[in-house]
Structures are given as structure tokens and as C-alpha cells.
Amino acid sequence: MTEAKQEMKVGPKVGDVMKDGTIFAGISPDTHKAMYATPADAPRVYNFYEADEYANNLCAHGHRDWRVPTADELNTLYENRNEGALKGTLNETGLFPAGWYWSSSPSHHLHNGAWAQRFSNGDQDTNYEDHDSSLRCVRG
């Protein structure tokens, strides 16, 4: 097999921009399938319900199946934040609320909370659903 054919069989690398403009963000630890992210955060910070509504109603890059990532998927985004086209696109200031990102995973510690992750250091913690955080939508 030629080297060119071998390269064709290899899938995208984390951080690669796909033909539709989305970014290959890695393999979802939940679905074990390819996960794609929007190339930028949602335009502002949102409370948990607004983030969920925004993601569910998002029509971008020819897709309507966007969602808020799970806590494990969010951590995959954190781990891959410096790869390819993801580099420099996530808020790593650590400031609240913009430096924290929502996950769709409910908190087991707070009745009205969900897991969020700070992208300056990777800390995951619960956040009250009526507080604001950033959002990066994923699909796949």
C-alpha cells in the first residue's frame, strides 16, 4: 500500500477543521464516537437553562444536532484545548463566569446544579443552574 493510501485511511487529528467548518475535538468518552465542536464559544455567558436552549436551537455549519457537552466530553475539550484549530479559542482566564464552561451533567451535590469546568486549570465543580458560564457546543 502506498504512503498516500495509508494517510487516506487515517482519520482526522484532534484540532483539524472539517470541511463543514467544525473542529474535530476528539472521541467522546461517553459515546465512543467522533466529537465535533463549534469553532468558537456561544456569543455570551448563559445560565444552565439558556445554554441548553441555545445548543438545542443552534443551526450552524449545516447541522442542527448541537448540544451541551457532558462533563467527560467537556474534559476532553479541556485536554485538547491546545490542539490545532482549538488552540486559543477557549477562555482560559479562569475568571468567573466566562472562564468556566457548562456541561450537561447534573450535579449530585446540588439539587439545582450541574457540572462546569474551569479552562485555566481543568478544575471541575458544580455550578448553580441559575449562574452564568460559557458554552462550547458539540455534536456527534
Identify whether 61 is part of a domain.
yes
Angle at 138 (CA atoms; ends 10, 5), nearest 5 degrees: 10
Query: 49-61 pLDDT, tens per residue?
Result: 999 999 999 999 9
Q: Is residue 4 part of a domain?
A: no
| 102-132 residues labelled b (16+ CB within 10 A) or e (exposed) | bbbbbbeeeeebbbbbbbeeeebebbebebb
Asked if the structure places residue 1 within a domain, the reply is no
**Structural domain that includes position 78:** 13-139
Asked if 70 and 105 touch (Cβ cutoff 8 Å), the reply is yes
Looking up residue 130, the CATH number of its domain turns out to be 3.10.100
**ω before 97 within 30° of 0 (cis)?**
yes
Q: Is residue 88 part of a domain?
A: yes
Kindly report, residue by residue over 4-59, the tens digit of the pLDDT: 444 456 889 999 999 999 999 999 999 999 999 999 999 999 999 999 999 999 99
- The pLDDT tens digits for 86-110 are 999 999 998 899 999 999 999 877 7
Q: Is residue 2 part of a domain?
A: no
Cβ–Cβ < 8 Å for 120, 93: yes
Number of structural domains found in the chain: 1
- Residue 119: inside a domain, yes or no? yes
Q: What is the dihedral angle through the alpha carbons of 44, 47, 53, 58, rounded to the nearest 10 degrees?
A: 20
For residue 25, is it within any domain? Answer: yes
Residue 102 near residue 44 (C-beta atoms within 8 A): no
Q: Is 42 inside a domain boundary?
A: yes
